[in-house]
């Protein structure tokens, strides 16, 4: 689930966790974008770290998914981020920039402006490690800069979500980052009280910024 500082409490849409890159065809077990649209889905996650790790979803595939989502009027929620080896070797900026350029490089600025981008520090998901507010802010600023290279001034229209083990204990510091517009919430969304607390924190941070 996504929590955005820019959304009001009553602004709720339904999003999917995945889609197929082809509009139609014999792909048993997959869900097409037209199928999602037919049931009222408004957005879809693409490039999630688990899709990359377990299903070989690389950015060439993600680029195709984004194109078909935009064609049918659904908002892509594009995920990017580095693993622990890439973080510790100092290659994390290079890795994220490469992901973005391959997945988003074929889009027009107006198309990029219609995306949501989620930063997933893979090394902080389910590992017990957590990105500091400073690390999150640094990477979000870097992603905003990369978006500017791709889309010019329209980069400022793209909400940037943090998606690395965000929970009530660390959300305030992370959400206070200048380019952190909310969170892509995984495990913390499984418990209603925890997720509601994150929504409340996002709203409080918005009021004070």
Question: What span, in angstroms and rounded, lies between the C-alpha atoms of 164 and 186?
Answer: 8
Question: What span, in angstroms and rounded, lies between the C-alpha atoms of 181 and 45?
Answer: 17
Q: Choosing from 4, 120, 140, 146, which is the catalytic residue?
A: 120
20 among known catalytic residues: no
30 among known catalytic residues: no
Q: Is 77 helix (H, G, I), strand (E, B) or coil?
A: strand
Q: Would you say 179 and 140 are in contact if contact means Cβ atoms under 8 Å apart?
A: yes
Max distance between CA atoms of the chain, in angstroms, equals 51
Give Cα 140 to chain centroid, integer Å. 11
Q: Choosing from 4, 20, 48, 146, which is the catalytic residue?
A: 48
Q: Would you say 103 and 78 are in contact if contact means Cβ atoms under 8 Å apart?
A: yes
Question: What span, in angstroms and rounded, lies between the C-alpha atoms of 180 and 139?
Answer: 10
Q: What residues are annotated to the active site? A: 48, 120
């Amino acid at each position: 689930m996504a929590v955005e500082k820019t959304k009001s409490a009553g602004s709720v849409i339904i999003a999917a966790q995945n889609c197929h890159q082809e509009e139609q065809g014999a792909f048993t077990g997959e869900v097409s974008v037209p199928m999602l649209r037919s049931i009222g889905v408004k957005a879809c996650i693409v490039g999630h770290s688990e899709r990359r790790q377990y299903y070989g979803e690389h950015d060439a595939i993600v680029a195709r998914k984004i194109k078909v989502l935009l064609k049918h009027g659904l908002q892509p929620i594009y995920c990017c981020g580095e693993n622990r080896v890439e973080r510790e070797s100092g290659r994390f900026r290079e890795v994220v920039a490469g992901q973005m350029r391959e997945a988003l490089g074929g889009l027009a600025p107006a198309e990029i402006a219609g995306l949501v981008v989620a930063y997933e520090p893979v090394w902080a998901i389910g590992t017990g490690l957590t990105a500091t507010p400073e690390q999150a802010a640094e990477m979000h600023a870097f992603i905003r800069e990369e978006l500017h290279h791709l889309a010019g001034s329209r980069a400022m229209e793209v909400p940037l979500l943090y998606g690395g083990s965000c929970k009530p204990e660390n959300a305030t510091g992370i959400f206070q980052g200048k380019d952190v517009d909310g969170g892509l919430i995984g495990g913390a969304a499984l418990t209603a009280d925890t997720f509601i607390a994150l929504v409340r924190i996002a709203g409080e941070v918005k009021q004070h910024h």
